[in-house]
Structure 1
Amino acid sequence: MNVRQKKQEMLAAMHRARALEPSSFVPNKLLDTLIEKMHLKNDAELCRVLEVQPPIISKIRHRKLNVGATILLRMHEKSNIPIRELKELTSASVH
């Protein structure tokens, strides 16, 4: 096995391990709560209300992108949900 193959194998193992890690970031609860409280139908409407491109919401929902300060503030402004509550919705509940 050459160096390149070893590197590819190591990267693949890292990606598999990362996929199995429990994440404290749970975006679906946040996005679904926003959609419900704002009486929207889907992510597309949420994008329009928040004035963001659909890939942003998609990446957040699929855990490819964390909720940054700018979008968190926009969520707060458009929904009137306190920022603290929005932040709590993004973290996994610990029971």
Structure 2
Amino acid sequence: MTDQPINEIQYNPDRLLDTLIERLRLKNDAALARALEVAPPVISKIRHRRLPVGASLLIRMHEVSELTIRDLRYLLGDRRQKFRISDVQGKPKE
């Protein structure tokens, strides 16, 4: 058994990136970076789990691939049905 939390085990950006490359008929990560209009190191950092897939990139993936946000999140390993926002988020600091 591993010491990683269950969410850490399920998170798999490789599956998402590989699916996008296949769906868009691209050759590699560099081509994917061009299609998403991001710098190639962004894709590399996502693959090596040093950078999470942010909301703006997820939206860009949706626009380019025509996959739903739900499908993209599922490929990424995010299985949450609902999102909770804390009372602190969105409020100005006092």
Q: Quick check: TM above 0.5?
A: yes
TM-score, length-scaled by structure 2: 0.74
Deviation at residue 92 of structure 1 after TM alignment? 7.1
Q: 4+ residue stretches of structure 1 with deviation over 2 A?
A: none
Does residue 79 (structure 1) correspond to residue 62 (structure 2)? The answer is: no
Corresponding residue SS for 2:51: coil
Deviation at residue 84 of structure 1 after TM alignment? 0.3
* Alignment partner, residue 11 of structure 1: none
* Alignment partner, residue 13 of structure 1: none
* Alignment partner, residue 30 of structure 1: 16
CA displacement 1:59-85 (0-9 Å, x = unmatched):
101111110000000000001011100
Q: 1:61 to 1:81 in 2, by over 3 A?
A: same
Identical counterparts, % of pairs:
57
* Alignment partner, residue 4 of structure 2: 21
* Alignment partner, residue 91 of structure 1: 77
Q: List gaps (5 residues or longer) in structure 2.
A: 80-94
User: Which structure: larger Rg?
Assistant: 1
CA displacement 1:20-71 (0-9 Å, x = unmatched):
6252320000000000000000000000000000111001011111100000
CA RMSD of aligned residues (A): 1.9
TM-score, length-scaled by structure 1: 0.73
* Alignment partner, residue 49 of structure 2: 63
Structure 1 CA distance, aligned partners of 2:28 and 2:52?
19
Task: Tell me the number of residue pairs that the alignment of Structure 1 and Structure 2 aligns.
Answer: 75
* Alignment partner, residue 85 of structure 2: none
Q: Which has the higher helix share?
A: 1
